[in-house]
Structure 1
Amino acid sequence: MGYVADRWHKSRPKPGEPECGEHKGKVASRAHGKGKRWQARYDGPDGGERTSLHRTAAEAEREIIKQESAKMTGSWVDPKAGKVTVETYAFDTWLPAQNINGRTEIEYRGVLNRYLVPEWGTREIRSIKPSEAGAWQQLLLAKYELSGSTPNSVARRVRSVFRLAVIDRVIAVSPFAGIKAPTLVESTVDPPDLAEVLGLVDAAYHVRWRAMIDLTAMTGLRSGEIRGLRVDRIDRERGVLRVEEQLVYERGRGLYFDDLKTGAGRRVLPLTDEALTLLAEYVTAHPPAVDGEWAGLVFTMPGGEPIGESTLDWALKSICRRAGGPARHWHELRHHYASVLIAGGENPKVVQKRLGHKDVLTTLRVYSHLWAEAEERTRGVLDDARRKAREAAAVRREGFLSGGMIPEGQGTRVASGLVSA
């Protein structure tokens, strides 16, 4: 339990010290007459002492009762913690808590520096109001002119800063509580069909691009994953491919192997016989380096250097022009892979695992229309089958009633004047 201290007077005066002329029986301290007189002292849940100043002893008592009650109910918030600035909390507390790799950390820092710090960086985190939080989200569209899925992505990062502040008991409630996040606008993916993919394979002007396009269409690998594919990740006996790393670029560092963003990205993909044959033939014809920085890298440029993302994108656009089809991004080959799985009847959870999405909601959000199309095809198949069955039954019934012969093996019988199959 806390207690109230009188700042203006000594609690243990030395013998013979003169009394305070203003307060009878009290010995003045150095703080006498400076600031608020009464100090509330109490221990926080972590055992550390907390203090606050008040005009009257009654106010200090009420503060202690309030804080002790909050500790009992689990709603306690450190009154001084909320004084930290938004920028300090975001960079010193929130960012290290994200457990992300270097490249993603740079991305997150960029979001904070571009959209959060200019607006609220020097403000105390406890000072941000819900009305300001809603207005800030509107700035993403009006001031920063963000579009598509970007406003939602940026807002999720910033909302997460304040959500962690609540968990850390820095603030009692997030200013974004009750404020709807920007609508997530997902553009509908229109993946190339198999005929278009095979056309791209045929139009590829180098065996390297031909193999990479074909393999991506059969595995759904991301650009960084296929560019960073190493031969020891291919298990020919089990017929699987272990996706464990990617090739990334960072300014000042260049290209290097890096872990995948999420644990879900680490996955084991089943390989078809065609994919295994493709890899075996390519590796035999173009053996990877056995030592050095890029040892084991399957797909490389002449001289054994890794392939940059822009180089791969340029190659695909050139191939699209040669094929006479629409310009495609490498990620659309990944969408093709997903569309094949969905058309084949794979459930969302399986598709999520194959693509390495962090949750099934992401998979459903991106490909929901493809499942809808698959459902319509299923209805069409069922309707067509039942229509044909009814037509066949009608023909048999008509033949029976007209005195014709019922073909053997149809399993028909007469019951209550009806022919049934």
Structure 2
Amino acid sequence: MGYVADRWHKTRHRPDEPECGEHKGKVATKCHGKGKRWQARYDDPTGREVTSVWATKVEAEQEIVRQEAAKQTGSWLDPKAGRVTFEQFSLDTWLPAQSIIGRSEVEYLGALRRYAFPELGHREMRSIKPSEAGAWQKLLVSKYGLSGSYPNRVARYVRGVFRLAVIDRVISVSPFAQILAPALESSACHPPDVAEVHQLVTAAYHDRYATMIALDALTGLRSGELRGLRLSRIDFLRRTMLVDQQLVYEKGKGQYFDELKTGAGRRTLPLTQGTVDLIAAYVARNPVPTAGPGAGLLFTMPAAGLIGESTIDYALKSICKRANVEPRHWHELRHHYASVLIAGGENPRVVQQRLGHKDVLTTMRTYAHLFAEAEERTRDVLDAAWADVRKADGEAESSGASGRIPESRADSGVVAQLRG
């Protein structure tokens, strides 16, 4: 249990020390008359002593009662913890606590430094109000000009900082608790169809790019996954491909191989026989290098050099020009793969797993319009399937034959619906 101390007077004093001029029977300390007189002292849940000063003894006693009660209920907060600034807590506590790879850490830190620290960095965590949190979110668009999904992404980082602060008992509630996050806007993708992909493959000016385009359309790999694909990851017998690394670029480090961002990114893809034959034929024409930076890679530049993202982007733009089609990006070949799966009737969960998305919501958000189109095709298929039945039923009625579904075996309302 805590106790109250009198800052202005000594609890132990020598007999020869003079009596306090204001308070009879007491001996003044050096801080007599300076600041608040009464000090509340108690131990926090870890056993560390916490102190605070108050004008009256009653206030100090009430503070101890409040803090002891909070300890009992598990709602105790360190009164001084919330004084840490947003920038300090983000750098010292939140960022190290994230289970992310190095490139993602650079991305998170860059977003905070550009959009959050200038506005909130100097503020104490406990001082930021919900109204200020909401106003900051609006600045992402009005001041910084962010668009698409980026305002939501940046806001998600900052909201995560405050969420961890609540968990760590730095603050009692996040200022974003009742504030809606920026809408997650994503423009509908319009991937190339099979005919266009075939045009691109035909127009490719190098065997390397023709094969990369075809393979990407057949597997939906990300650019880094495609450029970092090793021959050893292809199981020709089982017709599968293990996706477990990517080739990335980072300023100051150059190109290097890195693990995938999420556990869901690591996946084993089923390959068609045509895909297996495509890879085998390419390897026969272009043996995989055994030495150098590109050792073991399926696709390399001359002298086993690693292929940069800008290199294949430029190559695809040139190929699009040669094929006389609209400019495309490599990621649109990944969208093509997803669109083929969806059109073929694959459910969202399977599409998510094939693409290596973190969750099915990401898949649905990106390809919602394609699933809607697939639903419409389902209706067309059902209409076409029952068209012959309706036609035969109509002919039977006109000729007086009993070509009906017996009412005793089916609900009359269902029968009427099937007849259209």
Task: Report TM bin, short chain.
Answer: over 0.9
Q: 1:69-84 maps to which residues of 2 (within 5 A)?
A: 69-84=69-84
- 1:120 corresponds in structure 2 to 120
Q: 1:294-333 maps to which residues of 2 (within 5 A)?
A: 294-333=294-333
- 2:188 corresponds in structure 1 to 188
- 1:419 corresponds in structure 2 to none
Q: Which amino acid aligns with 1:24?
A: K
Name the SS of the counterpart of 1:337 in structure 2.
helix
Name the SS of the counterpart of 1:247 in structure 2.
strand
Tell me the CA shift for residue 377 of structure 1.
0.6
Name the SS of the counterpart of 1:95 in structure 2.
helix
Deviations 1:121-145 (A, max 9, x none): 1111111111111111111111111
- 1:53 corresponds in structure 2 to 53
Q: Which amino acid aligns with 1:114?
A: R
Q: Which amino acid aligns with 1:152?
A: N
Kept in 1: contact 2:293–2:306 (CA 8 A):
no
Q: 1:20-419 maps to which residues of 2 (within 5 A)?
A: 20-399=20-399, 401=401
Tell me the CA shift for residue 397 of structure 1.
4.3
Name the SS of the counterpart of 2:205 in structure 1.
coil
Q: Which amino acid aligns with 2:317?
A: K
Work out the CA distance in 2 between the residues paired with 1:18 and 1:243: 82
Name the SS of the counterpart of 2:303 in structure 1.
coil
Deviations 1:307-328 (A, max 9, x none): 1001111111111111111111
Name the SS of the counterpart of 1:249 in structure 2.
strand
- 2:418 corresponds in structure 1 to none
Tell me the CA shift for residue 385 of structure 1.
1.5
Kept in 1: contact 2:3–2:61 (CA 8 A):
yes
Work out the CA distance in 2 between the residues paired with 1:59 and 1:266: 58
Work out the CA distance in 2 between the residues paired with 1:228 and 1:412: 60
Shifted more, 243-252 versus 18-27: the winner is 18-27
Work out the CA distance in 2 between the residues paired with 1:292 and 1:52: 65
Work out the CA distance in 2 between the residues paired with 1:287 and 1:31: 84
Q: Which amino acid aligns with 2:377?
A: R
Name the SS of the counterpart of 1:52 in structure 2.
strand
- 2:414 corresponds in structure 1 to none
Kept in 1: contact 2:393–2:404 (CA 8 A):
no
Work out the CA distance in 2 between the residues paired with 1:11 and 1:361: 65
Shifted more, 290-299 versus 77-86: the winner is 290-299
Work out the CA distance in 2 between the residues paired with 1:368 and 1:13: 79
Work out the CA distance in 2 between the residues paired with 1:15 and 1:174: 54
RMSD over aligned Cα atoms: 2.0
Kept in 1: contact 2:293–2:304 (CA 8 A):
no
Q: 1:26 to 1:188 in 2, by over 3 A?
A: same
Name the SS of the counterpart of 2:357 in structure 1.
coil
Counting aligned pairs with the same residue, the percent is 66
Work out the CA distance in 2 between the residues paired with 1:335 and 1:202: 20
Deviations 1:200-240 (A, max 9, x none): 11111111001111111111100000001011111222221
Name the SS of the counterpart of 1:303 in structure 2.
helix
Q: Which amino acid aligns with 1:5?
A: A
Tell me the CA shift for residue 46 of structure 1.
2.5
Tell me the CA shift for residue 45 of structure 1.
2.2
Shifted more, 351-360 versus 5-14: the winner is 5-14
Q: Which amino acid aligns with 1:188?
A: A
Deviations 1:157-178 (A, max 9, x none): 1111111111111111111111
Tell me the CA shift for residue 10 of structure 1.
2.3
Q: Which amino acid aligns with 1:258?
A: D
- Equivalences, count: 409
- 2:9 corresponds in structure 1 to 9
Tell me the CA shift for residue 67 of structure 1.
1.5
Work out the CA distance in 2 between the residues paired with 1:159 and 1:296: 42
Shifted more, 233-242 versus 193-202: the winner is 233-242
Kept in 1: contact 2:292–2:304 (CA 8 A):
no
Shifted more, 63-72 versus 218-227: the winner is 63-72
Work out the CA distance in 2 between the residues paired with 1:263 and 1:112: 25
Deviations 1:303-360 (A, max 9, x none): 1111100111111111111111111111110111111111111111111111111111
Kept in 1: contact 2:78–2:170 (CA 8 A):
yes
- 1:418 corresponds in structure 2 to none
Q: 1:62 to 1:412 in 2, by over 3 A?
A: closer
Q: 1:42 to 1:333 in 2, by over 3 A?
A: same
Tell me the CA shift for residue 412 of structure 1.
9.8
Tell me the CA shift for residue 117 of structure 1.
1.0
Question: Which residues of structure 1 form unaligned runs of 5+?
Answer: 416-421
Name the SS of the counterpart of 2:12 in structure 1.
coil
Kept in 1: contact 2:101–2:261 (CA 8 A):
yes
Q: Which amino acid aligns with 1:119?
A: E
